[in-house]
Amino acid sequence: MRAVRLINILTTLQAKGLVTAETLAAENGVSVRTIYRDIDALSLSGVPVYSERGSEGGYRLLDGYRVRLNGLSPGEAEAMFLSGVPGAAADLGLGSLMAGAQKKLTAALPEDLRQSAARMQGRFHLDAPTWFGESERPAHLQAIADAVWNCKLVRMRYRSWKAEKNREAEPLGVVLKGGAWYMAARVDGAVRTYRIARILDLVVTEERFQRPDDFDLAGYWTENTQRLEAELHPNTATLRVSKWGLRLLEHISPSYVRARMETGKDERNEDRWIVTLPCGQSQHAVSEFLRLGAEAEVLGPDTLREAMRETLERLAEFYDRGAP
């Protein structure tokens, strides 16, 4: 609808300042010619929007002009109150600020939209940690958040899987994943990921760094996650599973594995399925497949099947001895 598009253009200009017609067209899914007509319509309606010519030109609003919130649709108002994680904001030290902002936003909304927003808050709740897991509250989280915001260099003592190391890092962003907090930071010219709970000591310096203009936190995190998943599952295994085993396997496998799982009926046993899927190194794969109990048999590769057999023999020895 054109009315929604005009409001989108207004809010974009208010938020970003100078914006090109091409950018507005891409954000609204229309042609540049349509944006020209929309800008003319806004000007005729009294909105103080004007153009700046040149290679770096575009459109902007007159300084001081603000768009009121009564142009929000009910769905947009509801979505605004669904976004954000109150617990995460509190962990970052922003809980009171978020509460204050939502109160001001509520007061600025028309009465009918206030009711829609209240219904959304009362009917949907986001619990970030996984089942039976607790959200981390690392000691240095708020200090790192401040360093990210103010582009301050940090020095830290970090405990990795292998050893403790001292690092000087440029913190670029903070991510909450499955109840755990992570920091994306540039170290020695490369961006790396650090679990904040593993930072043993932290010093936030007064030394500033230049944040890369082209760094995209969401894009980096997606790419980094996909790369990590591939590194954790470099091998392929073939299993013969029961119907219940197949359901268990689909339940316990991460999304990366489920997306690449191939399943077919076992020609020798109509009650069984043959499943081919990515897996980790031998020790990790054994631990994962033992969770399926007698509902699954590893068919290959031979090295993994042998590792399963050796592990089961050791387990049998434990239980053959009798209770201590």
Q: What is the pLDDT of residue 83?
A: 61
Residue keyed to tokens 């989280």: 141
- Cα separation, 187 vs 201, whole angstroms: 17
Tokens of 179: 């109840």
Q: How confident is the model at residue 179 (pLDDT cuts 50, 70, 90)?
A: confident
Burial 180-196 (b: 16+ CB within 10 A, else e): bbbbbbbeeeebebbbb
Give percent of the chain with pLDDT exceeding 90: 49
Which of 64, 58, 65 is closest to 18 using CA atoms? 58
- Cα separation, 186 vs 167, whole angstroms: 10
Q: How confident is the model at residue 160 (pLDDT cuts 50, 70, 90)?
A: confident
- Cα separation, 10 vs 60, whole angstroms: 9
Average pLDDT for 257-283: 93
The full set of domains in the chain, from first to last, is 2-61 (1.10.10.10), 81-123 (no CATH), 141-225 (2.30.30.140), 233-320 (3.30.70)
Residue 70 has pLDDT above 60, yes or no: no
Sheet holding 262-266, edge to edge: 262-266, 269-279, 235-242, 296-300
Q: What is the pLDDT of residue 1?
A: 57
User: Whole-prediction pTM value?
Assistant: 0.65
Residue pair 135/126 in contact (Cβ under 8 Å)? The answer is no
Which of 187, 166, 184 is closest to 175 using CA atoms? 184
Tokens of 294: 């007698």
Residue pair 130/145 in contact (Cβ under 8 Å)? The answer is no
Letter for the amino acid at 324? P
